[in-house]
Amino acid sequence: MALCEKILLDEEVSVEELYELAEFLNANPEAGKHWPGNQFVEPLQEGWADGVIDSSELALMERLIVETRREWRRRVAPMEKTEAPAGADLTSGFAASTDSGELARINGPDVRLEVPSASYPGSNHRVDLKTLTCDCSDWKFRRSTLPEGHFSRCCEHILHAFEHLGVEDLPPMLQAFLENTKPPDPEKNWYLGDVGYGSILISDAPHGWSDVFARGKDGWGMFGCNFRQQRWKYDSEPDGAGAIIPLIKEKFPE
């Protein structure tokens, strides 16, 4: 999984990174016979069959790597499903007005959980979902100074805790955010916008790419937008793409 983590570090999966993954599997044939390596062999073979990896194949591989990472975490750090407290509402604290000028924030339920560590099996991290706090090093050194409720306070353990908390009827853009296994960049700020079919969640782009949680042809998910280059990652656009780029520029002026 270390190579998969490396691939997911930047904003966009590249052909060079997939070539490195293919080279690793070729050099270590046993890895390709067992999970998780066997998840990648056939898609990589199909991708290289014509000698060219196109944008749709890059998008497919990113989704596969993200889902494999999610399953890997479930296997190495299993966690029991936890019932949300009665009346738990993650939306009441949102800056939901598109003209309020406020950053979006999560109003977490009053729940504290012990979340198993994937890096150090047998140990746990203490997570507080109301304040979005964790005792892991990523949270302490990269996220702790962000305002309470800020989306980028969510480290992987906070996201993992939300995944195992049974909160029903979440807004689809929030559900998509919480299901994304890659923690948000702590330098990114977040805003709720509306492009005609409900609230979407957008970030600024301190390193070139804005994260957009919106509806697409396959349902709700995360899209990448480089508004400076006027392009969408892997040529995959969400519904309302034409209105989203101006919205990002408006809410996060450079």
- Same domain? For 44 and 8 the reply is yes
Q: In this predicted model, what pLDDT tens digit does every residue of 25-70 receive, in sequence order? A: 888 888 888 888 888 888 888 888 887 888 888 888 888 888 888 7
Task: Please tell me the distance from the alpha carbon of residue 206 to that of residue 189, in angstroms, as a whole number.
Answer: 9
Q: What are the residues whose beta carbons fall under 8 Å from the beta carbon of 125, sequence distance 6 or more?
A: 114, 115, 116, 117, 134, 135, 136, 157
Asked if residue 161 belongs to a domain, the reply is yes
Task: Please tell me the distance from the alpha carbon of residue 17 to that of residue 123, in angstroms, as a whole number.
Answer: 32
The pLDDT of residue 92: 53
The pLDDT of residue 90: 59
The pLDDT of residue 216: 93
- Same domain? For 131 and 196 the reply is yes
7: containing domain: 2-76
The pLDDT of residue 228: 86
Task: Please tell me the distance from the alpha carbon of residue 87 to that of residue 184, in angstroms, as a whole number.
Answer: 27
Q: What is the DSSP string of 149-186?
A: TBGGG--HHHHHHHHTEE--S--HHHHHHHH--SPPPT
Distances from the Cα of 160 to the Cα of 75, 80, 149, 253, angstroms? 13, 11, 17, 32
- Name, of 47-56, 69-78, 240-249, the range with top average pLDDT: 240-249
Q: What is the DSSP string of 95-152?
A: ---TTS-PPPB----S-EEEEE-SSSTT-EEEEETTTTEE-SHHHHHHTTTSPTTBGG
The pLDDT of residue 99: 46
What is the distance of C-alpha 58 from the center of its chain? Answer: 17
Whose structure tokens read 């049974």?
Answer: 166
- Same domain? For 154 and 56 the reply is no
Q: In this predicted model, what pLDDT tens digit does every residue of 164-201 receive, in sequence order? A: 876 667 788 888 998 877 899 999 999 988 899 988 99
- Same domain? For 152 and 108 the reply is yes
pLDDT band, very low/low/confident/very high, at 240 (cuts 50, 70, 90): very high
Asked if residue 53 belongs to a domain, the reply is yes
- Same domain? For 110 and 214 the reply is yes
- Same domain? For 35 and 98 the reply is no
The pLDDT of residue 70: 77
Once rounded to an integer, what is the mean pLDDT over residues 223-229? 90
Residue type, 236: S
**Residue 199 · residue 171 · CB < 8 Å:** yes
> Which two tokens mark 46?
């199909």
The pLDDT of residue 95: 42
Q: In this predicted model, what pLDDT tens digit does every residue of 86-137 receive, in sequence order? A: 655 555 554 443 444 578 888 888 888 899 888 887 889 999 998 999 999 9
Closest Cα partner for 183 from 202, 160, 201? 160
- Same domain? For 113 and 178 the reply is yes
